[in-house]
Amino acid sequence: MDDEFAKYKLYATQVVNGDVVACEYVRLACLRYLSYFDRDDLTFDPSKADKVVNFIGKLRHFTGSHNGKPFVLQEWQKFIIYSIYGWYHADGSRMVRNAYIEVARKNGKTALVAALCLYHLIADGEANAQVILSATSAKQAKICFDMCSNFIKPLDKKGKYFKRYRDTIKFDATTSSLHIVAADASRLDGYNASMFVCDELHEFKDGSVFNVLQSSQGMRENPLGVCITTAGFNRSSFCYSMRSSMVELLYGKKPDDSQFAVIFTLDDGDNYEDESNWVKSSPNLGVTVKKEYLRQQAQQAKNNPTLLTSYLTKLQNIWLSSSEEWIAAECIFKAQQQWDYTITDEPFAYLGVDLGSTSDMTCVSVMIPNDERYYFRNYYFLPSEQLTVNPNRELYRVWHQQGYLIVTPGNVTDYDTILTEILKLNDIVQIIQVSYDQWNATQFAINATEQGINLLPYSMSIGSLNRPTKELARLILSEKVVIYTNPIDNFCFENVVIKRDFNDNERPTKESYNNKIDGVLAMIMALGGYLTTDHYDNSIVGLNFT
């Protein structure tokens, strides 16, 4: 190990080597961090990283058994500090502009972010600094604000340097201020944030506050936005959408040096009753999180199943709905990559079309079998009105801006646009057949047939969906599926709830109208059409021409 940077690599190296127990997401974050040391376009500045650590070390705790003791950062917390404040571009600008930190309750994340707020208020070197602390409720915002206020009391016993008000702290030496604000984007105009915090992001109803605060930083040289949260229950939320993007970032599917992300949680398949796993979601185990407390909570959850979901979500930091996950998100991420239709010289495609309702999202799934692998690419369509009226509108807007969602004019599904896209595909690949749900699709079927597209009505009964549903899961778990990268696919897979009958037949369903699974249904229909069709390789056997 390079002696010059040994202490700055310590935690990351220990995680990667397996000396510190951590989940896969943390391991990926550490690998990402260590890779920066091999880059010529980045510089790690120990003095600036140490400056933040030393500043926090001057603060003193004020509650419980830690009262009066200095704020001593744990190695996992130092890793966060080093990642955010250690890296710089050649022009001297700080590399990280946004941070996403997800960790279970009781791990001191609010205290850490309060300390960072004070650092930006006092010591980051920004004149007229403006630190904004936002949360969905005044009570939640007040928790972090009160921590800031209590941290500065020992530093300024006579009130000479800081002026404390109900929702503001002012530091006149640099004409800087810290404010708490309501999570109401319409009331946030006029701010010029040098640093902002979104506390418990999973509770935010949408991304409007985050977007407004981020856009307010345009004039700052080294701005920073920090989102901290525990897991939640709403996988349709802005927070979960951001988390999904962070997971893609950690897997290297969305490179973005300006974004730091770390997620402390259990790995898929971990036994929540196994105490050796608890440190994965609670890195402060034995410091602010007592093992006996987690043991008691785990026992209560075991004795009373109604408490289990809350226990797993808040104390083991696992995003859960009331159902079990069908295919682990990690498997979907591993299956995703960019590919094009030149994967084979003569691509034969099978399509699945889930037309959905007349006023919501529709999906066309393209499947190309090739060399024992199955290549899928999904195309999503949405009437433009849904960008303003649909409960998922925030997600839809982001996906549309990113180019993953095709928006058509009006308030109903535009089947002509969908057919036009299918005809474009038919110029690129040879479409063998299109499997579609007959419900509300009469005119679409007539128009497609007139254009020479081979349509196959596909039943949505559990008997028809059983085989392709099980086969798709088997193929994904066997790493024989390649899915063209699209965050809407992740959303759809996460929303799937498997319905089983007494014969163990399966079909995908959803728990609520807003939990869309269109992409998964379209993929299953495409695969189902392939499985029920004879396949030929155009070779002639049994004849001897010699």
pLDDT at 205: 85
**Residues 261-288, mean pLDDT to the nearest whole number:** 94
490 belongs to a structural domain: yes
**For residue 350, is pLDDT > 50?**
yes
Q: Which residues pair with 169 in a beta bridge?
A: 164, 178
pLDDT at 391: 84
> Cβ(522)–Cβ(486) under 8 Å?
no
Q: Do 334 and 259 fall within a single domain? A: no
Q: Do 229 and 138 fall within a single domain? A: yes
pLDDT at 358: 66
pLDDT tens by residue, 59-111: 998 877 777 789 999 999 999 999 999 999 999 999 999 999 999 999 999 99
Domain boundary among 238, 263, 288: 263
3-state SS track over 445-494: HHHHHHCCCCEEECCCCHHHHHHHHHHHHHHHHCCCEEEECCHHHHHHHH
211 belongs to a structural domain: yes
**For residue 297, is pLDDT > 70?**
yes
**For residue 539, is pLDDT > 50?**
no
pLDDT at 543: 40
- Cite the DSSP H helix spans in 377-428: 386-389, 393-402, 415-428
- What band does 181 get if pLDDT is binned at 50, 70 and 90? confident
**For residue 364, is pLDDT > 60?**
yes
185-189, 295-299, 378-382, range with the lowest pLDDT: 185-189
DSSP 138-207: HHHHHHHHHHHHHHHTTT-TTSSSEEE-SSEEEEGGGTEEEEEEES-GGG-TT---SEEEEETGGG-SSS
**Overall number of domains in the chain:** 2
User: Nearest-CA neighbor of 73 among 286, 287, 316?
Assistant: 287
DSSP state of 3: G
More confident residue, 138 or 300: 300
Give the CATH number for residue 470: 3.30.420.240
Q: Do 69 and 168 fall within a single domain? A: yes
375 belongs to a structural domain: yes
- Measured from the Cβ of residue 344, the count of other Cβ atoms closer than 10 Å reads 13
Domain boundary among 263, 280, 306: 263
Q: Do 166 and 247 fall within a single domain? A: yes
User: Which domain does 371 fall in, by range?
Assistant: 329-531
Q: Do 369 and 494 fall within a single domain? A: yes
Q: Do 374 and 482 fall within a single domain? A: yes
299 belongs to a structural domain: no
What is the separation, in whole angstroms, between the first and last Cα of the chain?
A: 68
How would you classify residue 137: left for phi > 0, otherwise alpha for psi between -120 and 50, otherwise beta? beta
pLDDT at 51: 97
pLDDT at 16: 97
pLDDT at 545: 38
- What band does 546 get if pLDDT is binned at 50, 70 and 90? very low
pTM above 0.75, yes or no: no
**Residues 393-411, mean pLDDT to the nearest whole number:** 90
> CA-to-CA distance for 72 and 155, rounded, in angstroms?
17
- What band does 324 get if pLDDT is binned at 50, 70 and 90? low
Arithmetic mean of pLDDT over the chain:
89
61 belongs to a structural domain: yes
More confident residue, 124 or 540: 124
277 belongs to a structural domain: no
**Residues sharing a CB contact under 8 Å with residue 145, sequence separation 6 or more, in sequence order:** 133, 167, 169, 178, 180
268 belongs to a structural domain: no
537 belongs to a structural domain: no
pLDDT at 185: 65
Q: Do 252 and 344 fall within a single domain? A: no
Give the CATH number for residue 49: 3.40.50.300
Residue 139's identity, in one-letter code, is K
User: Nearest-CA neighbor of 265 among 250, 252, 282?
Assistant: 282
Domain boundary among 228, 263, 298: 263
pLDDT tens by residue, 275-292: 999 999 999 999 999 999
Q: Do 65 and 169 fall within a single domain? A: yes
**Residues 335-355, mean pLDDT to the nearest whole number:** 89
